Structure 1
């Protein structure tokens, strides 16, 4: 059984109610599971418990409010259900190594960089390449105002795109040696805005001569329009003759997509793959050669 739709539905509920009273019981009830079963499922799918997820998302949103608004620290603390400003400061410092006030001051100063410096650094994102059919019509970079966890997220956005037939990807490639003969899972969090085509993660496994052995670009479960942060994943096998693994985020047409917390992990063979089988529509033999049907 795939729990991904249930987890995504639950995360959407959490994201929409971070300023409300959230508990394991309330989220499990929304999902239609017992608290103990849902606790196990959520942690297995996302790598964190529900309480930890709620805590770090509240802290991340608080960090964003600190640098993007003039709201008082105590008001931010109460908005995200911290009992006191002191308890909020302790939790905030745990994640950001700075108290809220100092974080606001330091990050606020960094935000006043000159726009040309920001634009110059956008296309130079460590480890990531901009590719696709029309990469010159897109921009990629780090967003310090919108993020799922930590201090920033990666983004890919259209700039001079003319149609939804154009696409770009923010991607990486690495050797397959470590994962030969294994089943791997690429997961992460994604947020979208005004996507006119579609966006999603993608993962591809190639052999030494460039043949595609396994591939998924979420074209059968596309993300469109505007969506809040949610969890997505791809699962593929890495055959013994694999040489290269490529992955990234794809944006087709106009819009903007943010990604955060990419993670690779090995999973067991009980976990279904999401590989797109391009041979499934190939006929076993020729048919209708006289065009009578």
Structure 2
């Protein structure tokens, strides 16, 4: 589990530099990982983006200085890299629900975000099946939404997107377009902090006309790690996602290559069936 130990090294680096300018390239280097892979690992293991975690830790440590050491608001704001006392106060109020000055004057209930600590466990009791697939660039068609990982909003929005697509007949029409991979859920176009992404419900484009309100995109050529998912949706898929990042990546030495991720719904069987089969495709590099 060397990969998870490296994640602990990155947490130590963040803690040592909370009052300095922190750059994702340097944090990822502390973990000996590429930038994209580190950010994806961090979010999947913790539920926070790297930027969220840094913001939360800074406001926690700043609150301690403000309340326990009676430091001036302007001094705390400058020390922790806020542009002004006003921007610090805005961030403070968003977390605690009160202003910094109110927190200093009264005994108020305040929130704290503790330093992360990964519990490294060896779990070799259940094997993980996977295969490596080479696939050239291919076009997809479908519809997408822009969503954010902050606060887990993407989980709610994507579930609602699928529900709407099933109810209005979009997935039924899309299935007629589908190629060998069937229906796809595609995570792509992550921003540099991996806090926003596009999620598409799509299918491989075939040589038949598509509606004008559908979007066409390209999935780039990649080496893919393909993981089988057995069980009813939506519960079965997240369990495999968790194991990929907490067990498979640390054990194999592969890294995420930074391209789109695919949820592949091959079967037209009932997704709520315990025997339902689907796959997760992740672009990888050694």
TM-score surpassing 0.5?
no
TM-score (norm 1): 0.40
Which structure has more RCO (C-alpha within 8 Å, separation ≥ 6)? 2
More strand by share: 1
- Which has more helix, going by share of residues? 2
Structure 2 length as normaliser, TM-score?
0.41
